[in-house]
Structure 1
């Protein structure tokens, strides 16, 4: 009887033990796919449980967290969505930091005219009747940065009717890769990771708010390695991994 009780106890504890062995769950902006995968691999090679990664638009991830979704770390592509969950009390105090920075560019299929200027109606004239792929400018950071830049440069009214809204920046990039849109607005790191597209133009840095990626631990997190992985990403080694994928230092 005592033997059977011991077996039952082990079976009861097994799921909890297995859960503890899983690496931290990281919710990260879609534009971080390659860089965060590289960092997770490096962390795993160091003898740690490899982090589990989930990528989507920062807006979708923040809403998931606000709705009670459990995760250990959140990396947003802008400060606004991190502000949103922090105001809800869902961020561990003292763990928020800027992880990396990025640039905003126009991409196109090879052979199309370059965008020498994003001012006024120049981009509208180049587009002609073609589409401009963007992440949703109402909620997704890449789209918000894009609309802000085009508005400041006086080009938004000219291009707004031709904007094709995508659920995230990688979906916008895919539209250009597949030829569904001749041009798109994405981050420089997305263009670097893409196949069959080129950078056709770049936005002046002062045309939009600085593109920063804040990282923070979440109060719903349970992984004992979450803080260690956060610190690794912010370390010299972690920053070098991000730099190899084109992200600017924090």
Structure 2
């Protein structure tokens, strides 16, 4: 192989190396609660069109994502569906505490398949839940670790229904999994976020759970420890912009 060809190949490899580095630097990895799937997919698409920055989005329950981040998963930004799991990653010292902000708000609703006979249900201590479920279960996130389930348990306890509901729960691994159980009619009723109910064409809202029956549903955001850079900081700021606000509000979220 002659010297000129070697020089050319070396130049090409260097150029490819630089290009790869630039592309890698222009990707931002976001770990977000499952209930944010639709909204964040649109946010990511708009941001890519606006800046060219690619997003790697990972959706799961806030608890699963928090544990992954604590174990060193390569997230740049974390969006939790409750403060508890953001507290956890802060205690583990794996987020930049100064970047923590409460970004969004949500509420809880009771959903049923569109074919369910009742359109409006009064959820109180005297409600015959077992009869309403007709041999199925009440789907919600697992109250042991999924935020939607934690809020649902608080609400049911406040209303005076927890003792009836506890043995009848279908404890899903995320709020989207709970919604799917109702969509497939494997559970005739489910407690999910209002935003989840709004994006489904297969379920209807049959009751809204009182906001004062559970801890306020807030979605904090933070930059992961040692991940701050130009691209990550810009994405973090965009999540708080008017353009992102419009997208979140379109999907039913309140914006702080």
- Paired residue for 2:132, among 106, 126, 134? 126
Q: What's the offset of the Cα at 1:21?
A: 3.2
Any stretches of 5+ residues in structure 2 without a counterpart?
A: none
Cα deviation per residue 1:82-136 (whole Å; 9 max; x = unaligned)?
0100111111132111111001000001233245322214152423432101111
Structure 1 position 64 matched with structure 2 position 48 = no
- Paired residue for 2:195, among 173, 183, 189? 189
- For 1:210, the equivalent position in structure 2 comes to 216
SS in 2 for 1:108: strand
Report the structure number with the largest CA radius of gyration.
2
Q: What's the offset of the Cα at 1:221?
A: 2.5
Contact 1:70 1:220 in 2 (8 A): no
1:139-154 alignment to 2 at 5 Å?
A: 139-154=145-160
Q: What's the offset of the Cα at 1:237?
A: 1.7
TM superposition score normalised by structure 1: 0.93
TM superposition score normalised by structure 2: 0.91
- For 1:20, the equivalent position in structure 2 comes to 25
Cα deviation per residue 1:166-185 (whole Å; 9 max; x = unaligned)?
11000000000011100001
> How far, CA to CA, are the matches of 1:92 and 1:201 in structure 2?
39
Return 72-81 or 2-11, whichever deviates more.
2-11
Q: What's the offset of the Cα at 1:13?
A: 4.8
Contact 1:28 1:56 in 2 (8 A): yes
How many residues align? The count is: 249
Question: Residues 43 and 12 from structure 1, CA distance in 2 versus in 1: closer, same or farther, beyond 3 angstroms?
Answer: closer
> How far, CA to CA, are the matches of 1:185 and 1:103 in structure 2?
10
- Paired residue for 1:100, among 80, 83, 104? 104
- Paired residue for 1:162, among 160, 168, 181? 168
SS in 2 for 1:139: coil
Report the aligned-residue RMSD: 1.9
> How far, CA to CA, are the matches of 2:183 and 2:106 in structure 1?
21
